[in-house]
A and B are shown apart, each in its own frame.
Chain A
Amino acid sequence: MPESPPRVGLFVTCLVDLFRPSVGFAAVKLLEDVGCTVEVPEAQTCCGQPAHNSGDRADARAIALNVIAAFRGFDYVVVPSGSCGGMIVKHYPELFDTGSAGHEEALHLARRTHELTSFLTRVMKVDKVEARFPARATYHDSCSGLRELGIREEPRKLLASVEGVSLREMTDADVCCGFGGTFCVKYPGISDKMLEKKLRHIEATGADTLIAGDMGCLMNMAGKLKRVGSAIKVRHVAEVLAGDYATPPIAEAE
């Protein structure tokens, strides 16, 4: 770790930017609390995953180059999402020919980029946060965070340190909720079947709050929970760790 405070570039993610800025501010608070200076490069838009997963390599590459340029010079890049984090860490280097300048730059960015909870625990060596958040909670592992970045214990460890949070594991916490980016609108019936199973497991825990680290999964699960009239509140892990219970849960009235 550098002697001076680590200079962190926040990759906001398009969903946090558009739908839920409170997650971005919670992330900023968490990073500043552990002594980072946080900047938000203006030239960022999206990580390019929709293009990449639709087979459009040219646009994915162009957007990746934009992100690479926007985040030059930071000690770290932190992302409040395992999915966008996985895109930068695992997929950006694949977009460029090995040995090319783009590939080198992609690798350089990938090495500095971390999902939020894993950054706090692995890089900043934090295992607790000073926060209070009343919640009987269950945690859903988002697929990319879990399988591309190996994030499993990190959010649970931090959540366990929040005063007022009690965690209970759901069955199949590591099974996809059916979001899958454009998948959920291309094949809504399959997505819904996956969601139904997820909801059963969530409800079986008796939790009053569902927590996860990715806005895509959260919006998907919150949308279904609210459609069926569930009272379970849905939160991004950053909001809970930052103790932000003033902001209404996802898909809830102000």
Chain B
Amino acid sequence: MTEMSTTAFKDNVAKALADDQLQFAMTETGPRFIAKRTKAREALPEFDQLRDQARGIKDHVLDHLDIYLERYEAKVKETGGHVHWAETPDEARAAVLEICRKANAKMVTKGKSMISEEIDLNRHLEENGITPVETDLGEYIIQLRNERPSHIIAPAVHLTRGQVEADFRRVHTHLDPGRDLSEIPSLVEEARGVLRRKYLTADVGITGANFLIAETGSSIIVTNEGNGDLTQTLPKVHIVLASIEKLVPTLEDATTILRVLARSATGQEFSNYTTFSTGGRRPGDPDGPAEYHVILLDNGRANVLGTEFQDMLRCIRCGACLNHCPVYNAVGGHAYGWVYPGPIGSVVTPALVGIEKARHLPNASTFCGRCEEVCPMRIPIPKMLRHWREKEFERHLQPTTMRWGLGLWAWVAKRPKLYRRATALAARVLANQAHGKGRLKKAPLASGWTEFRDFPAPQGKTFHRLWKERRS
């Protein structure tokens, strides 16, 4: 696995900006997501009311999460399933491994699951002699490359078609060199051919969950390739990996949120497959797993409840905030250094790995507000990023120069008379340095600015000085 790090954010960014393939891939796909969502939204006049409803549902669940989790657990048991509580990634990995060992599993197929990424499950399975096979096309591609997803719903969005073709030719040694793989459908077909055989031989199928439903004990996944269905119905054991905030009270609630999910994510009215699973195979069922397990991961989420960060737990992982984020579109998902990239990742990651390790993420935002504007769950992302900056400030995590600089500025800004004198001086000095050209190639303490831009020079006198002169 390519190692990634949130502390190395600046290095990650430098690499991303210099990566021509990445830059090409990002400019190709970003605008497409946006156009599709806009169209889907315009076609549904009640979209914003649905967003309000969706937010209301999740807020209610989060305020009563203990009740719904217990209700859900009872229902899963009633339908013959098993629930495993995991407070930490370690516990979740151990629970998966134990189930796999009991099933004598050599190979597991996997539907797309961000929780699997969060607990770094594949590595753990491999270390214990079990082969994980990703069945979502994007996940399959990045597994071939030993990479992390760079997007919540489009894991391989950072890659060009040419790169994917090269990976297939490298790993699929059976391929005829003359076969045309230059178009997406041919790549899909090739991956499908390889994966079909895996579905039939896998001992365990692992999926994520978009929703867990308290009233029925069901889990829901939404997919576009149908790989999730094959993953969860063909092997004899089905494991659902989910975090605790995926709960909704009723089927009705889930369908309300589903109406905003696909529209926000891919611009579809509904994903191609919306698959419900409730327990394992019942007597008389033609297919389905013999065993049904749910692993419920906390990993720090319960600590977020009741804090100024609680709203982040409404997230349904649609990826709209990523698609609309100019920062994400400039650097891609890997630069963020962990599992969840983009605006919501910059809110979630500090909560899960600690603000000490992730202080760059909430800072790498212009607060442009597009994320909040498109979030189907109306998560106030900029406000939460700012809250993280407050935590960072409280704990003195900022670089000393930044802190002192801003401290000095604020000290002066609180003293209007001193401020007037300081600004009058600065305006005059900078204007003189510009020698009538209106701009500076270099300015004191502004190398971050002048590396890429000229520095517009002041006109010479401050507004306040001129106002006084003209009105007296």
Contact = CB atoms under 8 A, between A and B. Distances in A.
A20 B365 CA distance: 26
Given A55-B393, A184-B366, 17 more contacts: A12-B464, A42-B416, A45-B414, A53-B389, A54-B406, A55-B386, A56-B393, A59-B410, A144-B367, A180-B366, A182-B406, A183-B363, A183-B366, A187-B10, A188-B452, A223-B454, A251-B454
B453 interface: yes
Contact of A251 (B330, B372, B439, B451): B439
Contacts of A59: 407, 410, 413-414
Interface string A18-61: 11111011000000000000001011111010111111110100
B84 interface: no
B413 A46 contact: yes
Interface in B407-434: 407, 409-410, 412-414, 416, 419-420, 423, 426-427
Interface of B: 10, 13-14, 17, 326-327, 330-331, 363-370, 372-373, 383, 386, 388-394, 398, 402, 406-407, 409-410, 412-414, 416, 419-420, 423, 426-427, 436-439, 446, 448-449, 451-459, 461-464, 466-467
B453 A24 contact: no
Contacts of B438: 248, 250-254
A143 B365 CA distance: 12
A17 B427 CA distance: 9
Contacts of A46: 413
B365 A180 contact: yes
A227 B462 contact: no
A141 to B, nearest CB: 10
Contacts of B392: 55
A125 interface: no
Contacts of A156: none
30 contacts: A17-B462, A18-B426, A19-B456, A21-B459, A21-B461, A40-B467, A51-B413, A55-B388, A56-B407, A57-B390, A62-B410, A63-B410, A63-B413, A144-B367, A176-B370, A178-B326, A184-B449, A185-B448, A185-B449, A186-B363, A186-B402, A187-B10, A188-B451, A190-B364, A193-B331, A223-B453, A224-B453, A251-B439, A251-B454, A251-B456
A62 B436 CA distance: 37
Per CB-CB distance, the 10 closest pairs between chain A and chain B, nearest first, are A180-B366, A223-B453, A185-B448, A55-B393, A55-B389, A176-B368, A21-B463, A59-B410, A147-B369, A251-B456
Interface of A: 12, 14, 16-22, 24-25, 40, 42-46, 48, 50-57, 59, 62-63, 66, 94, 143-144, 147-148, 174-176, 178-195, 197, 219-220, 222-224, 226-227, 247-248, 250-254
A147 B380 CA distance: 12
Contact of A190 (B17, B367, B402, B458): B17
B33 to A, nearest CB: 14
A44 B416 contact: yes
A182 B405 CA distance: 11
Q: Which of A179, A190, A254 has the most CB of B within 10 A?
A: A190
A49 to B, nearest CB: 9
B456 A148 contact: no
B414 A63 contact: yes
Contacts of A19: 427, 456-459
